[in-house]
Amino acid sequence: MEQKFIIKNKNNKYERICLLKQKDFKKSKEYNEILKQFKTGQVEIFCACRNKDIEYKYSVDGKLYPAMHNSKSLHNRNCPGYSNFKEICLSNPAFRYETEDSDIIIANLLETHRNTKMVLNSSYSSAKIYNSEESMTLSAFYKKVNWYSWYQMAYAPCQYYLKFEEFQSYVVSMFKKIKIRNKRCTLDDINKGKNDINYFYWEYKDAEYNELYDNYKVCGINRYYKAINDVVARERNFSVSAEVLFCANEKFRKTYNGLTVENAQKAGYRIIVAGILSTKPYFKALDICFLLVNKYGLFVESTYEAKFFEYIIDYIENNHSKNKHVFFRPWSFGMSLYTDNHLEDAIIDLVEEDSSIVVECFGMDTEEYNLRKEKKEQTCNYRMLSWNASKKDKFPDIPF
Ligand SMILES: [Zn+2]
């Protein structure tokens, strides 16, 4: 992630955007030019992350620094100038930026396909083997890829949300920015390279049992593209052992409170199948996971969340205020607004007010859950937009 700056020329109001903090920039002709213009008072420099003017100055030894002492909280959360940016970058050891200045994510994946047997034997209950902070399961990985992509899209200058089909390819385009630890290249490079491993993220259609080979043929849509007046889907398939498919189904069922992939589809939810497959000698998945996404393609952890977040996103979309009210799901603890170690279900950054709204979807009604809910409500220093889904409340009014 690189911080961009706006160079404003005082006389003719001409302005342009520039990356001033790049490593080799100081050796360039452009650097000397800008420094000269700055010293003679011809230009002013501002961070480009907001319309609000956060001014920067050059020191005598040519170092760029913010003109105002405590301007760090004024930047966009997405900007390296933001106060907690370093934490966002580096706080999650399993899914973090490569360095502070990089826009490459390093993901530390458990070698899940090797663990399939282990999971089967432990009957899904001993999640401990998976709970290592340093590494994550395949489903945790793709969930973060989805939320990270959404975050990038939410903060991108486009005025409207991408449609489901467009968001699908947007997520896959993020493969260019994600590296698996211990591998030097990105997922995109791995997929294009000569090795026989492929990372994939498709919309799930169905699976069919193949008696002859005792495995399943999984069919999915790996690409949507626009033909004249229409969106065309390209279908692909791969085979998967009964064991791997069973594990993925069980994991889904546990996450969604007993709902099976099949029933979720029947109820109209869209499902993603993602994983790793071996291309040689034929398309065979080593490990897969299922993700439930809402109608915009955003991964959700319950059907309540699917509905509630659609309600919020629809509202923002209808108000044409995507860039003013930035809705996203935090994917790393450094992004959290809570002071204890909870992560919000979602956050809405109010860009023009330098403030945020915490979004919570309360889906259970047990004593323990309600205690945690109360604590969240008491310790939250921000406005909270919450929905008591389990009590069948109406959706709350959105406060903007
Ligand atoms: Zn900024």
Task: Tell me the CA–centroid distance for residue 155 and ligand 1, in Å.
Answer: 13
Task: Tell me the CA–centroid distance for residue 344 and ligand 1, in Å.
Answer: 23
Task: Tell me the CA–centroid distance for residue 45 and ligand 1, in Å.
Answer: 12
Task: Tell me the CA–centroid distance for residue 110 and ligand 1, in Å.
Answer: 35
φ, ψ for residue 98 (rounded to 5)? -60, -50
Task: Tell me the CA–centroid distance for residue 105 and ligand 1, in Å.
Answer: 20
Task: Tell me the CA–centroid distance for residue 360 and ligand 1, in Å.
Answer: 27
Tokens 């949300």: give the residue.
161
Average pLDDT, the chain: 85
Task: Tell me the CA–centroid distance for residue 259 and ligand 1, in Å.
Answer: 43
- Secondary structure string (H, E, C) spanning 103-132: CCEEECECCHHHHHHHHHHCCCCCHHHHCC
Chain segment 191-236, per-residue pLDDT in tens = 998 888 899 999 999 999 999 988 999 999 999 888 887 888 999 9
Task: Tell me the CA–centroid distance for residue 294 and ligand 1, in Å.
Answer: 31
Distance of alpha carbon 126 from the chain centroid: 27
Answer yes or no: are the C-beta atoms of 328 and 344 closer than 8 Å.
no
Domain ranges for the chain, please list them: 5-74, 85-293, 303-391
From CA 154, how far away is CA 323, in angstroms rounded? 7
259 CB-contact burial (10 Å; exposed 0-12 / middle 13-18 / buried 19+): middle
Task: Tell me the CA–centroid distance for residue 358 and ligand 1, in Å.
Answer: 22
From CA 11, how far away is CA 32, in angstroms rounded? 19
Answer yes or no: are the C-beta atoms of 107 and 144 closer than 8 Å.
yes
Task: Tell me the CA–centroid distance for residue 67 and ligand 1, in Å.
Answer: 13
Reduced to 3 DSSP states, what percent helix, strand and coil does the chain have, rounded to the nearest 5? 35, 30, 40
Task: Tell me the CA–centroid distance for residue 170 and ligand 1, in Å.
Answer: 24
Tokens 């490459």: give the residue.
104
Task: Tell me the CA–centroid distance for residue 181 and ligand 1, in Å.
Answer: 29
Task: Tell me the CA–centroid distance for residue 9 and ligand 1, in Å.
Answer: 19
Task: Tell me the CA–centroid distance for residue 76 and ligand 1, in Å.
Answer: 6
Task: Tell me the CA–centroid distance for residue 47 and ligand 1, in Å.
Answer: 5
Each of the 400 residues of the chain gets a pLDDT tens digit; together they read: 678 888 998 887 788 888 887 777 888 888 889 999 999 999 999 988 875 678 999 988 888 888 988 777 788 777 888 877 766 666 667 888 887 667 788 888 876 544 444 443 333 333 334 444 577 889 999 999 999 999 999 988 889 999 999 999 999 999 999 998 878 789 999 999 888 889 999 999 999 999 998 899 999 999 988 888 788 899 999 999 998 999 999 999 999 999 999 999 999 999 999 999 998 878 999 999 999 999 999 999 999 999 999 999 999 999 999 999 999 999 877 777 776 667 899 999 998 887 889 999 998 888 888 888 888 888 777 889 999 998 888 999 999 9
Answer yes or no: are the C-beta atoms of 136 and 109 closer than 8 Å.
yes
Task: Tell me the CA–centroid distance for residue 54 and ligand 1, in Å.
Answer: 7
Instruction: Domain 303-391: give its CATH code.
Output: 3.40.1350
